[in-house]
Homo-oligomer: A and B are copies of this chain.
């Protein structure tokens, strides 16, 4: 059996997230069904991360086992013919049997895009959070540094998530403005809790509005209380942009 690793890019708008669900179309189900046509047998893909409904990926990694003989380097173009154009196979390689997209992942990077203009940009409506009030980018960047390190992220965890450890390690966090209107947050970490990035962004925006100080943001992290943190930023601004092995 060959172990194939794919890098996928997808626009998440039309899907109910990555992971298979009973009654809604997901990235996983669609990719599995279509790849079956190339490989000639049913297959199951392991994703490096779940992405929620409406969340995007520039770099989602999956792997699967197959007896199919198509050379890995030909998979991207073969997949182009059978996948809808909002899901693209960017790269394909053959890995050793031990490789697992989720379990082998050492770290991931998520990016969150926010358009900070009074009037919305119609081309960004599905690809960023439109936030019309002024935001202080350097203050948000300063506050974001509090998450670097190993912390209990209970304050930024979705209520009702599966019972896993709330401790995660973040290697880097930044907030930058690439032009006058686009603000990008980026978090590089070993793992992320359900809704963690969107909850961090929703709270950092309070700092950007000067409704919360960087010290107040750090205190919320330490306080472990989800109710003290801000809103969950909308899904359409979030992108999985890298997975490192």
List residues of chain A with CB under 8 Å of any chain B CB: 9-11, 56, 76, 80, 85-90, 119-123, 125, 127
CB distance from A42 to the nearest CB of B (A): 25
Copies of this chain present in the complex amount to: 2
Instruction: List, in ascending order, chain B residues with CB within 8 A of A86's CB.
Output: 122, 125
| Contact status B76-A123, CB under 8 Å | no
| Contact status A88-B120, CB under 8 Å | yes
Contact of A11 among B10, B80, B88, B123 (CB under 8 A): B123
The 8 A-B residue pairs with the shortest CB-CB distance in the complex, in nearest-first order: A85-B125, A11-B122, A88-B122, A86-B122, A9-B122, A88-B120, A10-B122, A11-B123
Instruction: List, in ascending order, chain B residues with CB within 8 A of A90's CB.
Output: 119
| Contact status B127-A87, CB under 8 Å | no
A8, B47: Cα distance in complex, Å: 41
A119, B90: Cα distance in complex, Å: 6
Instruction: List, in ascending order, chain B residues with CB within 8 A of A89's CB.
Output: 119
